[in-house]
Amino acid sequence: MSKKNKLQHFAENETFDNMFQLSYEQLMSGFEHRGNWNKDFFKNDNELTVELGCGKGEYTVGLAERFQNRNFVGIDIKGARIWRGLKNTEEGDLKNVAFIRSRINLVEYMFGPNEVSEIWITFPDPHPMTSKERRRLTSPRFIERYYKVLKPDGIINLKTDNIIFFEYTLDVIRENGHELLYCTYDVYGEENDSVLTDIQTFYEKIWLKNGTKIKYLKYRLKLQE
């Protein structure tokens, strides 16, 4: 994408009323919708699903289209990518979608305790070097953040092409006593769920074209004492 197009997208992002660009300072001073997304923004009592690292919003929008009795928020730091999701939301006249441009490691300041029912993590940066394990979105460090926003029976979904990241996550689940609900090493070879096969991200299409098998797992965090 050219610099000119990026600047155009950044400018247009400012015009969407379902787009929130939140700095560290804004979040630290208190985000108005934290703990009040359904009451103040969505105006309903539906369950809230959050996609972390939403990119162009393919999953956020795709899920919102299929489950219009739920609310969805996509988070990414790349504003030019989110623009596509915003446009698709507008064109589809979806009222159950919002996007946040901010850093995922600040997620606990975007949502209140027990506010989120489900998290999707789709094709995140795997940070393959062992020295960067703490940056992985399924690391114990990030799990502690999710505990602060997820309901006690909340679900985490991971979809990835990276075998190292996938098996690392399985190790984290096992070693920390979380409940593995489902696991497949080959979504398109074993799975018939349209949510997993019909919604494809930009990067997923690239990996599929290269013949890479897509992995998926779903788990519930261990209840805290």
**From 40, 125, 171, 186, active-site residue:** 125
Tokens 């004492």 -> residue: 225
What are the strands, taking DSSP E only, across the chain? 19-21, 48-52, 71-76, 97-101, 116-122, 150-160, 179-184, 215-220
* CA 174 – CA 78 distance, rounded (Å): 32
Query: Taking the mean position of all CA atoms in its chain, how far away is CA 191?
Result: 21
Q: Is 198 a catalytic residue?
A: no
Which helix H or strand E contains 27, and what residues bound it? Answer: helix 24-29
* CA 24 – CA 10 distance, rounded (Å): 19
- Which residues lie below 8 Å from residue 42, measured CB to CB, with a gap of 6+? 48, 71, 95, 96, 98
The three-class DSSP label of residue 72 is strand
Which helix H or strand E contains 141, and what residues bound it? Answer: helix 140-147
Query: Taking the mean position of all CA atoms in its chain, how far away is CA 100?
Result: 11
Q: Which positions are catalytic?
A: 125
